[in-house]
Structure 1
Amino acid sequence: MKILALDTAMNGCAVAVWDAGGDEAVSAVEPMLCGHAERLVPLAQNILTEAHLDFSDIDLIATTVGPGAFTGLRIGLSAARAMGLALDVPVVGVTTLDVLAASYLARHQDPHNLLVLIETKRSDFYGQLFSPAGDILSEPFALPAEQISALYLVDSIVLIGDASQRFLSLLLQEQKAGVVVRTGFEVPDPAHLARLAYRQYASGGYLTPPKPLYLREADISQSRKTQRKIAE
């Protein structure tokens, strides 16, 4: 089974193609703050060409469902759903938190719990706690640093994600003693996204179509022109 994985939920545009019968994936991750919509499909075509495949060879589409940037998240989901309909193949969604955790745990063996923290572009953080074996120890959350510290910094812990450094800077000196920050895991790895999606598909534990994981409302404000009309 050949899986095409797409991610635009955070500060990057990422694509991978992986054959479930093998170990190696062909993938690319391009850091970017905007322009995901224009870049995603051409990048997918490039990856398929590099793998000597075409869209018609794909059996499953994988995509991240959040949490992440509101606009970027919807770009990836919309593209995945459209491809799934066009190719008549299933689409499986995986959280960004799960993908980041899997990427880290595939490369490191730590005796401590893993806390994945993602930027919200506000004062709080998206996150989730995992065991050293990858078991889920908390539901995904959107919390301020004070609550995260009280709930999860009760023992030594490893931090990853694009918000880990900001979180560390907000801690008191004594709170930092048991905290280890690992860099290099700021954007989901599409190869691990493909593997996780395949496991969900094989187990039957997935939603069709995948739905976005929103941990709070999007930042939406009225324009001054609209406000004036309402006032009138």
Structure 2
Amino acid sequence: MRMLLIDSALSLCTAAVFADETALAVRSEPMFKGHQERLAGFVREAMAEAGTGFADLDRIGVTTGPGSFTGLRVGLAFAQGFGAALERPVVGISTLDALAASIAPDGVAPGAVAALIDARRGQVYARFWRGGVAEGPAEALSLEAATTRLTALGPGVTLVGSGAPLLAGAAPLGIVVDLPGPTPEALARLVAAAVPRLSPPEPQYLRAPDATPPTRLPGQPRIPVRP
């Protein structure tokens, strides 16, 4: 199975081509903004290096968040556009699931695992596993609530993601893996194993965006504030 993998949900911009679990080409650079300017070039370069035509792809995989609102939408729009043009299935993969899979050679590590993304404003996006089984869905948690959840997992937990250093003190006997984003290898495993109809490329927002709609239309007078 030949796959094009796209990740722009966090502070990486990644485009990779895999044949099953074998990497044919990978383009990945750290960046906090500008994914929309670089992603198309990365895809073009990765496809050329892999010697693969777009018609040879079997499916496209893309991270669905949680993550940066703008970066997330860039990757999803790009993947869905390619999928529609090529008539290929587009598989959506949770960023937190991909982070957890990035620390194990196959699937999720068997011990206790916490995938954590720094959500700013004193919060993390989080999902927890024990024995390879997820303990509930992804959540947006305060640092205090996440600390409580980590304590309940017990000693030896592995913390992975940009939010891991924020909570290292809550798991002093654990392992901290500060990844800027999922590894292409982990994405390839998850995309290859996914059932497309059960893994739609839909954004996963765990918190409302910071921007809010305007309260009045352009040219509309302001409503006076009453004392």
Please give the range of the TM-score, normalised by the shorter of the 2 chains: 0.7 to 0.9
Which sections of structure 1, spanning at least 5 residues, go unmatched? none
1:14-33 aligned within 5 A: 14-20=14-20, 23-33=22-32
Hey, what does 2:99 align to over in structure 1?
100
Size of the aligned set, in residue pairs, is 221
Select between 74-83 and 53-62 the one with higher mean Cα deviation: 53-62
Which 4+ runs in 1 deviate beyond 2 A? 22-26, 107-112, 175-180, 204-207, 221-232
Deviations along 1:77-130, whole A, 9 cap, x unmatched? 000000001111010100001111111112899663010100112211001012
Classify 1:200/1:109 alpha carbon distance in 2 versus 1 (closer, same or farther; 3 Å). Answer: closer
Q: Which amino acid aligns with 1:217?
A: A
Pair 1:200-2:198 in alignment = no
Other structure's SS at 1:105 match: coil
Return the structure number with greater strand share: 2
2:166 aligned with 1:166: yes
Cα distance in 2 between the residues matched to 1:24 and 1:104: 17
Tell me which residue corresponds to 2:223.
Answer: 231
Corresponding residue of 1:81: 80
| 2:206 is the alignment partner of 1:212 | no
SS at match of 1:120: strand
What SS does structure 2 have at the residue aligned with 1:6? strand
The one-letter code matched in structure 1 to 2:140 is A
* More helix, by proportion: 1
Distance 1:7 1:110 in 2: 22
Mean CA deviation greater in 152-161 or 31-40: 152-161
Partner of 2:184: 190
Q: Tell me the C-alpha RMSD between the 2 structures.
A: 2.6
Would the alpha carbon gap of residues 59 and 229 (structure 1) be closer, same or farther in structure 2, given more than 3 Å must change? Answer: farther
Q: Distance in 1 between matches of 2:85 and 2:162?
A: 34
Q: What's the TM-score once normalised by structure 1's chain length?
A: 0.85
**62-71 vs 134-143, which moves further:** 134-143
**Once the 2 structures are TM-superposed, how far is the Cα of residue 164 of structure 1 from its aligned partner?**
1.1
Residues 122-179 of structure 1, C-alpha deviations (whole Å, 9 max, x = no match): 21100101234x32122101001111122231211111101111233xx4xxx44333
Once structures 1 and 2 are overlaid, which stretch shifts more, 158-167 or 85-94? 158-167
Q: Structure 1 pair 191/45, CA: closer, same or farther in 2 (3 Å)?
A: farther
Structure 1 177/192 Cα, relative in aligned 2: closer, same or farther at 3 Å? closer
Q: One-letter code of the match for 2:88?
A: V
Please tell me whether the aligned partners of residues 147 and 167 of structure 2 are also in contact (alpha carbons under 8 angstroms). no
Aligned equivalents of 1:99, 1:112: Cα separation in 2: 16
Q: Take 1:86 and 1:110, find their aligned partners in 2: how far apart are those partners?
A: 37
Q: 1:147 — aligned with what?
A: 145
Q: Which runs of 5+ in 2 are unaligned?
A: none
Judge conservation of contact 2:12–2:180 (CA < 8 Å) in 1: no
Contact 2:151 2:171 in 1 (8 A): no
